[in-house]
Structure 1
Amino acid sequence: MGYATEADYIAFTGATTSVSVALLDAASRDVDELLIGAVYDTDHEGLPTRTSIVKALREAACAQAQWLDAIGDDDGAGAAQAVKSASLGSASYTIDGASQPGAGAATGSGRLIGGGAVSILRVAGLLPVEPYTYG
């Protein structure tokens, strides 16, 4: 289950129609990947309990879905970074992070995240994720 519903998407974007549930779920997975290492209280299903965090994740998922839709990625599968250059002799390649307009970050797996989603998570205090130490 994703962080946002079709009704959430319409309310967030002001659109008259929503994107697909599959795209909202893909956007939620993108948000999840950025949050690896983030610390916040969750319930027994692993969902956040603080209203402000719930809102930030919902809005970030909507913003990511909106960005994916804007770049023509209707199922969330195409937001990978484009290879800028490659060479066969030692198998090196260069990633072009600027290949998608409005990209704000890249996940560990190389998927691009729209700048709106990154901004929402940063303002909510969920990014950047830094080591949390005790003692």
Structure 2
Amino acid sequence: MQVQVHTNQIEGSARLQEWVSAEVMDRLDHFDEMLTRVVVHISDENAHKSGSDDKRCQIEARLKGHQPLSVTHKADAMGLAVDGAAEKMRHALENLTGRLEAKTVSTGRIADAGDVQLSDALLEEEFLEKQDDLERG
């Protein structure tokens, strides 16, 4: 999984980018096989003014064979914003994989027991009819 970190109104030091990449990779490591790229946008919405919930982290996950997922989290501190967004993305990916597994099970399963018994009865009836035709023939 490739993690790209973009900053806006924040000094994007190499240390910050490494920390954000490590934090996101740690939270989303379980989904590594299904992710091609994760893009993280970090910004300070009020620039150099202080304010509540002015740090914003948006994470966009690019999935193999699916539309990208995007989540956003705002907080007072950058660390909290990154943690919150990473946790939201983990939940979104868990939700997606759960839906995909349910879809596979519902389309890939054999018919329920009642359908199987009906099918067996029809096959038995067809077999007996062919046996009768052979005996008469």
TM over 0.5: no
Choose 1 or 2 for highest CA Rg.
Answer: 2
Q: Which has the higher contact order (CA 8 A, sep 6+)?
A: 1
Larger helix proportion, structure 1 or 2? 2
TM-score (norm 1): 0.33
TM-score where L is the length of structure 2: 0.33
